[in-house]
Structure 1
């Protein structure tokens, strides 16, 4: 648009070129002619976003085409008018016009602190599912909130962590910003915040951190239940039943010991979530959670006993995996890990689940990205499970001298570990590929090089944020 262009001049130019008059144009967009005339002659321009949309459509312009002018003429006043600002921000979010949201925020924060209204708007945007737009608003609250002890500030960090928790490349940096504020959250939010931290560090395979945050989660759940009796308060509304957080704290703590090979210690914590029916106030949803954790406990005890070398439990484990197919990828990982460490082959077990393994391979083609694959999971922790499965499967193939098949699995593991930004996973995958490179096809080398390039470009893009980002 030309300099000094206004909405009024745009309308006048359109009317002139189309051969209409103001009255005809008003009728064509379904607006009363005196109203349009009054709008155009008001100073400053007194127009709602709904009226702007009617005019934009009548001028045959794309949706949002006049937003930049609207910000200057209708919103850039010294006194923020939230009756007009909110509908405009909602429309920007709906059209993904995030640059306009940023511009409006600049107008708002310069003359006066509007963090309360910005925060309330962010909460509404998030509730509607406009996550990126909400993130912009929460970032503004963080930048302008005057009190470091403000609950709004803590919730804003928590919300950003929520929004970006599935982004393998942003979640860690945002989590580091959230951690100092986790104790300032309302308890219902703190439960989910601690669970997200526990899951994040499990993906990073930082088991000491997993143990730390799983302890905090269990202790908070216990405090709420046993000491505060807060679970009886009708205004206490966590996202999941309180028993869920109880169980998750124990589940991840047991898992942290299992992954470190401390099997006896892991069994102690498995017993904690194996039977939680003693908790009072369990409704139907809570009882289902109790049953789910009992199933997890049985599965994890079987898994540990097999990893300890008791192969007599394999038959029972196979029955369990057929009954609970959602646990299959973890079960196969357990079997592969046990076979690799004990130098035995388990083809007869893998053949039972050949169709599912074949589907895993299809769903995880070499070199796929998050944008090109549709699959049933979205959470990084589930991506981590498949990354681990393909790595163990690669080692199994190498032991059987199935070198190219092993390399295919290495590449799948490499891609998945990059998607969740698991440095340990990427290093292991790169080492395995280089050890067997001379057996790779030209196509496999090309895929490997492409992923390496993505890793390098990602690390280069992080450099301006400082060395602390790399310590994950």
Structure 2
């Protein structure tokens, strides 16, 4: 026989549905051919089971019968294997399933197809097509199955699948992002050098949000090493280009290392890195619009950070210099406000005028852009911290007017829960307990509700819950 018994059943299922419809409506082949646009001879061979059904033909049959677009998808899963499995027929079906959200069909197809490992490269290409089309969950199913099929190969394709899965998993939940980063980290050095650079940047951006500064510095050092080698080796251009120009990764690695120095309060070291990433114009070979834009952007960041490091050193004159500088750079204002509030709490600066000046920039807003210094996850974490820092400033500035400060703490806790920032949850809960006596019953009720949510999150992660007496 040309196909197995289960194959016969599947053929009967799809074809019986069609035959039953034609009998019910007293249709011959010619009439249904007119409705569906399928050639009469082809239709006859389909019904007899001598021809496989293409996805285009499936769509025509379904539409002619007046059925929902995915009504015959379950039966078509078996149709895919009734004749010799063909990636030419299966690929458009997988894509159609992704478009219509029928991930269940994809889950049934892919493992069976991968019983034959020769299909691995083709399925990887389909996964890439789905990723490009932003059908991320469908793509993830394929990447996951391909990586399982290649788990003993230690191949670049395996590493790239894990990289794609890491990118797909990234979202607003900082702890989940961190776990995804830790799973992927073991694969990053197996990627092609062009992919390694962007992968390292993505890892760094995740680790910054959870304040893993030692690891951030290690990865930035590795990014710098790889980027410098590749930039020196490929003066004429790389065969496979990274997502951004190679010199960008050199400058970004230096920027990150200055941020690490800042975190450790080594402002002299931070300024040394500032001098390096603002000097791109002296060594970057490219002279196109993109290069000029990026070099200038790092120079601008260097100016802002120089004021910032002066501010962190307690120089009060830097406060208004910093504010005046970022006033001309709106994309930097929110982050500057985060830094200014922290400095005000540390050095007892009066920043009421600055807060009023930039009040329109205080609500958190996601940003769009390819070369921004801060990803949306980093900005989200900064906003959660900003709310608690601003609450402390309000308490210190006006101990007699605490309602606003209490509300800021609760807003910060609520936002921290939404993005699952454990560090900021602890900060906000600690602050609320510190100032509990200033809270009214409504505020205490909100805190109790949010605290319950924190305990639920911790219980799901099987960690010791945050608790206060």
| Mapping for residues 172-183 of structure 1, pairs under 5 Å | 172-183=178-189
| Mapping for residues 411-450 of structure 1, pairs under 5 Å | 411-441=410-440, 444-450=443-449
SS class of match (1:313):
helix
**TM-score w.r.t. structure 2 length?**
0.88
What are the Cα deviations for residues 182-233 of structure 1, in whole angstroms up to 9, with x where unaligned? 111111100011111111110001111111111111111111123xx22523
Map of 1:268 onto structure 2: 272
| Contact 1:273/1:293 (<8 A) preserved | yes
Map of 2:68 onto structure 1: 62
| Alignment match of 1:33 (pick from 40, 46, 58) | 40
**Residues 157 and 231 of structure 1: CA distance in aligned 2, closer, same or farther (over 3 Å):** farther
SS class of match (2:187):
helix
Work out whether 1:48 is the aligned partner of 2:54. Answer: yes
SS class of match (2:130):
helix
Question: What is the deviation of 1:152?
Answer: 0.5
**Residues 406 and 145 of structure 1: CA distance in aligned 2, closer, same or farther (over 3 Å):** same
| Contact 1:165/1:196 (<8 A) preserved | no
Question: What is the deviation of 1:461?
Answer: 4.2
Bigger Cα displacement from structure 2, 14-23 vs 157-166: 14-23
| Alignment match of 2:387 (pick from 366, 387, 390) | 390
- Looking at structure 2, the residues matched to 459 and 343 of structure 1 have their Cα atoms a distance apart, in angstroms, of 35
- Looking at structure 1, the residues matched to 452 and 180 of structure 2 have their Cα atoms a distance apart, in angstroms, of 24
| Alignment match of 1:259 (pick from 243, 257, 263) | 263
Map of 1:294 onto structure 2: 299
What are the Cα deviations for residues 371-391 of structure 1, in whole angstroms up to 9, with x where unaligned? xxx844673112122222222
Question: What is the deviation of 1:124?
Answer: 1.6
Work out whether 1:380 is the aligned partner of 2:377. Answer: yes
Question: What is the deviation of 1:447?
Answer: 4.5
Work out whether 1:9 is the aligned partner of 2:16. Answer: yes
Map of 1:82 onto structure 2: 87
What are the Cα deviations for residues 45-87 of structure 1, in whole angstroms up to 9, with x where unaligned? 6111111112222222222121111001x21258531111111
| Contact 1:56/1:62 (<8 A) preserved | yes
Map of 2:234 onto structure 1: 230
SS class of match (2:239):
coil
Question: What is the deviation of 1:164?
Answer: 2.1
- Looking at structure 2, the residues matched to 232 and 446 of structure 1 have their Cα atoms a distance apart, in angstroms, of 64
List alignment gaps of at least 5 residues for structure 1. 364-373, 468-472
CA RMSD of superposed structures (Å)? 2.4
Question: What is the deviation of 1:445?
Answer: 4.4
Map of 1:316 onto structure 2: 321
**Residues 61 and 397 of structure 1: CA distance in aligned 2, closer, same or farther (over 3 Å):** farther
**Residues 242 and 234 of structure 1: CA distance in aligned 2, closer, same or farther (over 3 Å):** closer
- Looking at structure 2, the residues matched to 442 and 79 of structure 1 have their Cα atoms a distance apart, in angstroms, of 70
| Contact 1:258/1:304 (<8 A) preserved | yes
- Looking at structure 2, the residues matched to 122 and 194 of structure 1 have their Cα atoms a distance apart, in angstroms, of 22
| Alignment match of 1:164 (pick from 149, 160, 169) | 169
- Looking at structure 1, the residues matched to 458 and 411 of structure 2 have their Cα atoms a distance apart, in angstroms, of 20
- Looking at structure 2, the residues matched to 405 and 180 of structure 1 have their Cα atoms a distance apart, in angstroms, of 46
List alignment gaps of at least 5 residues for structure 2. 1-8, 369-374, 464-469
**Residues 240 and 419 of structure 1: CA distance in aligned 2, closer, same or farther (over 3 Å):** farther
Bigger Cα displacement from structure 2, 435-444 vs 97-106: 435-444
| Mapping for residues 84-123 of structure 1, pairs under 5 Å | 84-112=89-117, 114-123=119-128
SS class of match (1:235):
coil
| Contact 1:321/1:328 (<8 A) preserved | yes
SS class of match (1:23):
helix
- Looking at structure 2, the residues matched to 262 and 25 of structure 1 have their Cα atoms a distance apart, in angstroms, of 78
Question: What is the deviation of 1:35?
Answer: 2.1
**TM-score w.r.t. structure 1 length?**
0.87
Question: What is the deviation of 1:148?
Answer: 3.8
**Residues 428 and 146 of structure 1: CA distance in aligned 2, closer, same or farther (over 3 Å):** closer
| Contact 1:329/1:389 (<8 A) preserved | no
- Looking at structure 2, the residues matched to 442 and 107 of structure 1 have their Cα atoms a distance apart, in angstroms, of 59
Question: What is the deviation of 1:167?
Answer: 4.6
**Residues 184 and 311 of structure 1: CA distance in aligned 2, closer, same or farther (over 3 Å):** same
Question: What is the deviation of 1:293?
Answer: 0.4
- Looking at structure 2, the residues matched to 239 and 313 of structure 1 have their Cα atoms a distance apart, in angstroms, of 37
What are the Cα deviations for residues 115-134 of structure 1, in whole angstroms up to 9, with x where unaligned? 22221211121122221111
